[in-house]
Amino acid sequence: MTVPKTNGHRVHDAHPRFTLDATAQAEYRGPTLQQPANTQKLFRSGKVAIGAALSYPSRHVAKTVAITGADWCWIDAEHVAWSTTQLVECIQIIIQESGGKMIPIVRVPSKTAFDYMAWALDAGAGGIIIPHVDTPEEVKAIIGACRFPPIGHRSFPPFTFIPGVTDLTPEGKSVFSIANEHVAIIPQIESRVGVKNLEEIVKMPEINAFMIGAGDLRLDMGLPMGMVGDEPEFVAAVSKATQMSQKYNIPLLGVAIGPEMLKLRIEQGFTVISVVADLHALAYTMIKGVADAKATVEDYKRREEAQNSK
């Protein structure tokens, strides 16, 4: 088996200018591996942050995803029935196995899943994606749950830190200020109502990025399911997202499947992009492997048959 040579974890130019290598990823680690990485700083860096999605509620899969070299890991707890124990363990596996270089970002089950927000953040997640956000009032409740006082009312997790060991911070900082400065709050806009209220949501000071849920947004507009489209209403919504991102200097988070969609997302102003998911990578790689094997057998056997018939 031929193993590709890598620089650090991933295959790319020796000195990337627009993406992160392993050394640059390490710059965003938290003070200890039990504290969140500085996701807000990463989002402000101007680099394109490349993500990989973890949908399998599996510690073994999480260990594999953690060493792929992605900058962040999208853990989807909205459409996958994670047990809370598995969710916490996989967040911590992503952090530990990557040496703090990959940032786990959790999409919680709903915009009122405040318990999941607390568990994910207490486990060390560097960000929370909140689905189906429509109004600034909903965002205020989310900020309250995800920020420590004086900004919000997130509760101190007494069973997360070992005092004097895992709660170490730079002088003048605390685990509370570090969390407030590092953790990213990312509302997901996926309805006409959300698009209408987009500016009011994006300009809120505690919002660190926002996501356009293209699939659900298209369904809400009465359009066919898909990630892209040229229908006027959908194009106008994405254009508005790009404008708001630029106006308020707030990163856009999205999904890109394949090089052409990735180029489109970059053109649209997305800078935090999930490009591969464990489910699809496994399925399509295995489908291709099986198909290639069958084709090889057929070709070899036909050649053998033809040779023997001479």
pLDDT in tens, 131-184: 999 999 999 999 999 999 999 999 999 999 899 999 999 999 999 999 999 999
Output the pLDDT for position 1. 46
DSSP string, 282-306: HHHHHHHHHHHHHHHHHHHHHHHHH
Model confidence, pTM: 0.92
Could you tell me what percent of the chain has a pLDDT over 70? 95
Residue 239, pLDDT > 70, answer: yes
CB atoms within 10 A of CB 160: 15
Q: What whole-number distance in Å separates Cα of residue 309 and Cα of residue 25?
A: 61
* Burial grade of 216 (CB within 10 A; 0-12, 13-18, 19 or more): middle
Q: Residue 310 — very low, low, confident or very high, per pLDDT cuts 50/70/90?
A: confident
One-letter amino acid identity for 188? Q
Output the pLDDT for position 137. 97
Q: Residue 3 — very low, low, confident or very high, per pLDDT cuts 50/70/90?
A: very low
Residue 2, pLDDT > 60, answer: no
Q: What whole-number distance in Å separates Cα of residue 145 and Cα of residue 183?
A: 12
Q: What whole-number distance in Å separates Cα of residue 95 and Cα of residue 78?
A: 21
Output the pLDDT for position 275. 96
E runs forming strands in the chain? 49-54, 72-76, 103-107, 127-130, 184-189, 210-212, 252-255, 270-277
Could you report the per-residue pLDDT of 43-69, keeping only the tens digit for each? 999 999 999 999 999 999 999 999 999
For the chain, the helix, strand and coil percentages under 3-state DSSP, each to the nearest 5: 45, 15, 40
> Closest Cα partner for 69 from 35, 109, 98, 100?
98
**For the chain, what's the residue count?**
310
Q: What is the mean pLDDT of the chain?
A: 94
Mean of the pLDDT values across residues 204-233? 96
Output the pLDDT for position 16. 84
Could you report the per-residue pLDDT of 85-141, keeping only the tens digit for each? 999 999 999 999 999 999 999 999 999 999 999 999 999 999 999 999 999 999 999
> Which residue ranges form the domains of the chain, and what is each CATH number?
22-301 (3.20.20.60)
